[in-house]
Amino acid sequence: MSTLNLNIASRISSRALAVGREISAAPLTVVVLDAGGHMISLQREDGASLLRPQIAIGKAWGALALGKGSRLIAADAQQRPAFIGAVNALAEGKLVPAPGGVLIRDECGEVIGAIGITGDTSDIDEQCAVSAVESVGLQADAGIVA
């Protein structure tokens, strides 16, 4: 199993911000967490609003906590709101059930961390996350159902 380090996390974050600029996204905030939910990197673009770091962390942390991309957590929140509400209560409000939280998997498919992005629409946040993770040769698991 591979592990995330500061160098890789920084490359992922920088690429996510670059993708955001390429598509003219609103100011983004990007966090990369290791498999244990510990923050490795957090970058907030100029103009990003006040709660963006907490939202990015909540998307990534939720993906790790539930073992699936936050797109699937958002779907769960619509289909089973009582369950996600209960989980969020257990998580002390840390869970953000919206696309933009993506699991990071190594070449063997093992979860080695997660990225959370916020600032634009959830779909654009997720697009930036997936592109960034894949740019460093890792697998992005956004919870997209094919």
43-88 per-position pLDDT tens digit: 999 999 999 999 999 999 999 999 999 999 999 999 999 999 999 9
**Is a pLDDT exceeding 60 seen at residue 1?**
no
32 by DSSP, 3-state: which?
A: strand
Report the DSSP beta bridge partners of residue 29.
Answer: 44, 118
- pLDDT (0 to 100) of residue 145: 59
**Is a pLDDT exceeding 80 seen at residue 94?**
yes
* Structural domains in the chain plus CATH codes: 6-141 (3.30.450.150)
pTM reported for the whole predicted model: 0.94
Tokens of 106: 């190594």
Region of residue 9 (phi > 0: left; psi between -120 and 50: alpha; otherwise: beta):
alpha
Q: What is the mean pLDDT of the chain?
A: 95
Q: Looking at the chain, how many residues does it have?
A: 146
101-141 per-position pLDDT tens digit: 999 999 999 999 999 999 999 999 999 999 999 999 999 99
CA distances from 62 to 43, 70, 84, 108, 116 (A): 19, 7, 11, 22, 9
